[in-house]
Structure 1
Amino acid sequence: MKQMRLRYAGACRLCGAPLPAGTEAIYESETKTIRCLECATEATETMHPDLEPPCDESLSTESGVAGSSARREYERRKAKDEEKLREKWGHFGGLAVALSDERQHTKSWDRGAIGEERLGARLNALAAAGLAVLHDRRIPGSKANIDHIAITPGGIWVIDAKRYKGRPELKIEGGILRPRVEKLLVGRRDCTKLVDGVLKQVDVVRDLVGDVPVTGVLCFVEADWPLIGGAFSTRGVQVLWPKRLAKVLMEQTTGDVDVARMHESVASRFKSA
């Protein structure tokens, strides 16, 4: 990574802020992305003082590219949509493509990929001798994947990134006379199934690592979080935002997990998607 003056306009991969040409920013050569100076400073301040830069070669194992499978699916769907328009309109196909809006279902893959990419960039910025990360990992025997896995001395964190609008809230129904039911709402949208999905991912990882603590996380990248508070837990799954997640992970400095060895073991079991 190096600080440089941008020759071309771009956007910060962490916060999405527009960066005009001529702006001072951080360029990451490995991912060919840029970060604004504010996010770069924030990542540095978030790091725990007991953590030092990586010095173990085993931690340099391929971590994967955040959002890569979602990005490929978006490009595939976009190309297919454009091909249908060209076939339908013949000589006017190029014009039809230029004037047509993307289908909502196709656009949702782009939104999801951006969310994973931004969170992945933040996690990469936090990676140190006491923390290792993996991105976009295939679940064996399934078409599903795990967005991010963070490995700390205190345990493993299975992270699902979501780029939803609205405020995440926990709604509790039932109680004394009826069974207690916890629902995850984002705005007015019932997103409880997202919790079910994370719990399934946690079970898959736990089957591999045995007694090592495994925690599920739903990280909403662009949700309407309140200025004070906001994070909560439902059925053991932490629901929070990127900055809060970074702080929680960097506090996991004590424990019995051999980060380097566990990183290698998990990476060999869950291949890049």
Structure 2
Amino acid sequence: MDHASAYLRPSNPVRILMKQIRLRYAGACRDCGTPLPPGTKAIYEAATKTVRCLGCVPVAKSPDPQPAGPPELADEDLSPTASGVAGSSARREYERRKAKDEARLREKWGRLGGLAVALSDERQSTKAWDQGAIGEERLGARLDSLATAGVAVLHDRRIPGSKANIDHIAITRQGVWVIDAKRYKGRPELKIDGGILRPRVEKLLVGRRDCTNLVDGVLKQVGLVRDLVGDVPVTGALCFVEADWPLIGGAFATGGIHVLWPNRLAKVLAEQTAGDVDVAATCESVASRFKSA
């Protein structure tokens, strides 16, 4: 198949336009989840505003003649998709910090700077941004696969008046989900102190790490989105990618925030088909307020 430009004919008469592009921003294949760094050639599908790696492109091709066009989009045409690119701001921050660290080493070691860069480990504060970007990219790819289930997804959205961002926002027929992706090691658990005679205190632990502050962060994001959408229900979720989840059970809620893993989250969202929320209109409203980072 000519990957440069192909029209696939689905079961309905609407054509799906796909074009080969060179990514300006990092992404992930919507089918297999493979990370796609900037500069990678991939297939962009206009109908779903998602990308696929070349190995996952379907082989069907319409026999209809197509208008001639350039085999590859020019760089200036490669703006982020309307839904945003998962992990893009974290990826940019990682690249910025990495370049700054390398420049510092080269300045310190002079002619031996290249060797110093090659032999030095990345600083943990820099590596953390790479790990975070990977987590967002992988979860983003899983969420993008829900397009056929009537779920609209927005990635990496700026919070107005702040340097912070919302990792993912999903809109279903039942409401809006505000999702924070984390790539932490260890098992997420809910620890409860107090009870009858003492105030009940809930703590979110991941391994031995107290991550309760993450719940507070999602609650603030939920509040911002709720102020915008009004009566539409808004739910918060912390999604831990590659955590040590048990084979049976494991998902829980604390402070009204769901704590779960990508496949479990995708299943919950895909099941929310019975409702009266106008997905397209709500998505447009949210996207106009929380713009792509």
Deviation at 1:214, TM superposition (A): 0.3
Q: Conserved in 2, the CA contact under 8 Å of 1:13 and 1:35?
A: no
Matched to 2:172, the amino acid is: T
State, as a whole percentage, how many aligned pairs show the same letter.
81
Matched to 2:150, the amino acid is: G
**Which residue is 1:225 aligned to?**
245
Q: Conserved in 1, the CA contact under 8 Å of 2:190 and 2:252?
A: yes
Structure 1 residues 16 and 152 mapped into 2: Cα distance closer, same or farther (>3 Å)? Answer: closer
**Which residue is 2:151 aligned to?**
131
The CA distance in 2 between the partners of 1:12 and 1:247, in whole Å, is 19
Alignment size in residue pairs: 235
**TM-score normalised by length of structure 1:** 0.81
**Which residue is 2:43 aligned to?**
29
User: How do 1:74-93 residues align onto structure 2 when only pairs under 5 Å count?
Assistant: 74-93=94-113
Structure 1 residues 36 and 249 mapped into 2: Cα distance closer, same or farther (>3 Å)? Answer: farther
**Which residue is 2:235 aligned to?**
215
**Which residue is 1:100 aligned to?**
120
Whether 1:244 and 2:264 are equivalent positions in the alignment is yes
The CA distance in 1 between the partners of 2:239 and 2:54, in whole Å, is 20
Unaligned runs of 5+ in 1: 3-10, 19-26, 38-60
Where does structure 1 differ by over 4 angstroms across 4 or more consecutive aligned residues? 11-18
**Which residue is 2:82 aligned to?**
62
The CA distance in 1 between the partners of 2:279 and 2:52, in whole Å, is 27
Deviation at 1:28, TM superposition (A): 5.5
Matched to 1:210, the amino acid is: G
The CA distance in 2 between the partners of 1:143 and 1:70, in whole Å, is 12
**Which residue is 1:256 aligned to?**
276
Q: Conserved in 1, the CA contact under 8 Å of 2:31 and 2:52?
A: no
SS in 1 for 2:127: helix
Matched to 1:245, the amino acid is: L
**Which residue is 2:62 aligned to?**
none
**Which residue is 1:156 aligned to?**
176
SS in 1 for 2:292: coil
SS in 2 for 1:128: helix
**TM-score normalised by length of structure 2:** 0.75
Structure 1 residues 36 and 167 mapped into 2: Cα distance closer, same or farther (>3 Å)? Answer: farther
Structure 1 residues 197 and 32 mapped into 2: Cα distance closer, same or farther (>3 Å)? Answer: same
**Which one of the candidate residues 155, 174, 179 is aligned to 2:194?**
174
Which structure would you say has the larger RCO, counting Cα contacts within 8 Å and 6 or more residues apart?
A: 1
**Which residue is 2:66 aligned to?**
none
**Which residue is 1:49 aligned to?**
none
Q: Conserved in 2, the CA contact under 8 Å of 1:136 and 1:145?
A: yes
Matched to 1:88, the amino acid is: K
Matched to 2:221, the amino acid is: Q
SS in 2 for 1:29: strand
Structure 1 residues 13 and 78 mapped into 2: Cα distance closer, same or farther (>3 Å)? Answer: farther
SS in 1 for 2:168: strand
Matched to 1:248, the amino acid is: V
Matched to 1:225, the amino acid is: W
- Greater share of helix residues, 1 or 2? 1
Larger Rg, first or second structure (1 or 2):
2
**Which one of the candidate residues 184, 195, 204 is aligned to 1:184?**
204
Provide Cα deviations, 1:42-62, integer angstroms capped at 9, x if missing partner. xxxxxxxxxxxxxxxxxxx70
Matched to 2:104, the amino acid is: K
**Which residue is 1:117 aligned to?**
137
The CA distance in 1 between the partners of 2:207 and 2:97, in whole Å, is 28
Deviation at 1:12, TM superposition (A): 7.4
Structure 1 residues 133 and 12 mapped into 2: Cα distance closer, same or farther (>3 Å)? Answer: closer
Matched to 1:152, the amino acid is: T
SS in 2 for 1:63: coil
Deviation at 1:177, TM superposition (A): 1.2
Structure 1 residues 252 and 13 mapped into 2: Cα distance closer, same or farther (>3 Å)? Answer: closer
Deviation at 1:128, TM superposition (A): 2.7
Deviation at 1:131, TM superposition (A): 0.9
Q: Conserved in 2, the CA contact under 8 Å of 1:14 and 1:35?
A: no
